[in-house]
């Protein structure tokens, strides 16, 4: 199915027109390659990218946390208020600490945490995920990770790659919002917002709410 600007506006009422136009062509050319083609699959995909990207406004992770926020969100990495204060409002330093030694990243000094921070419409994060995604879509994302947020085609493809790799089409067919959210988020953060996007998508795409 072909997406139209007006439909995305209705599903994402806070999206800017220029951002919708920026991604629209890529969405229409790429989704079918990943079999995101039925109304219900498209609705779930748009609901998730709507939340993850802040209605297409954000293509990379914002890590500009205050000391209080660091202690609240990343408490295990900042066990003391002094440490949280030392890292506060230093996004690169924060990323290198919280993403160190996991997801294929090196240690804090390697810079991998910042280099492979969350980017794209479904925040691709970590060196291992960048490598897998790059190999799948034919892009060298290890040496050019910024492509995930600077090229609309790569941004959409990275989201579709993640979607396909987690077998989310099958879950969308079952209308499993909660399970899809867990697969993407690792928990249920923003579930209410994701549900609101999904309900608007179902409404404006005339999908039976009981599906």
Q: Which of 162, 130, 206, 207 is nearest to 45 (CA)?
A: 162
Candidate list 4, 10, 33, 52, residue with the active-site label: 52
Residues 6+ apart with CB under 8 A from 111: 96
Distances (CA, A) of 28 to 19, 89, 104, 159, 209: 15, 38, 32, 14, 24
- ∠ CA(198), CA(151), CA(190), 5° rounding? 30
Residue 33 among the catalytic residues: no
List residues with catalytic annotation.
52
């Amino acid at each position: 199915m072909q997406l139209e600007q007006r439909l995305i506006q209705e599903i994402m009422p806070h999206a800017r027109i220029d951002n919708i136009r920026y991604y629209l062509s890529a969405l229409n050319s790429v989704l079918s390659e990943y079999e995101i083609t039925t109304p219900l699959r498209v609705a779930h995909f748009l609901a998730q990218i709507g939340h993850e990207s802040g209605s297409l406004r954000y293509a990379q992770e914002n890590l500009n946390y205050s000391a209080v926020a660091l202690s609240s969100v990343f408490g295990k990495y900042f066990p003391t208020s002094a440490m949280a204060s030392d890292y506060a409002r230093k996004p690169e330093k924060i990323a290198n600490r919280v993403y160190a030694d996991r997801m294929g990243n090196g240690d804090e000094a390697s810079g991998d945490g910042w280099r492979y921070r969350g980017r794209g419409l479904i925040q691709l994060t970590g060196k291992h995920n960048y490598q897998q995604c790059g190999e799948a879509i034919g892009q060298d994302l290890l040496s050019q990770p910024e492509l995930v947020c600077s090229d609309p085609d790569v941004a959409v493809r990275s989201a579709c790659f993640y979607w396909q790799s987690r077998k989310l089409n099958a879950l969308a067919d079952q209308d499993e919002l909660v399970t899809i959210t867990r697969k993407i988020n690792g928990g249920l953060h923003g579930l209410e917002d994701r549900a609101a996007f999904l309900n608007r998508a179902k409404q404006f795409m005339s999908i039976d709410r009981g599906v």
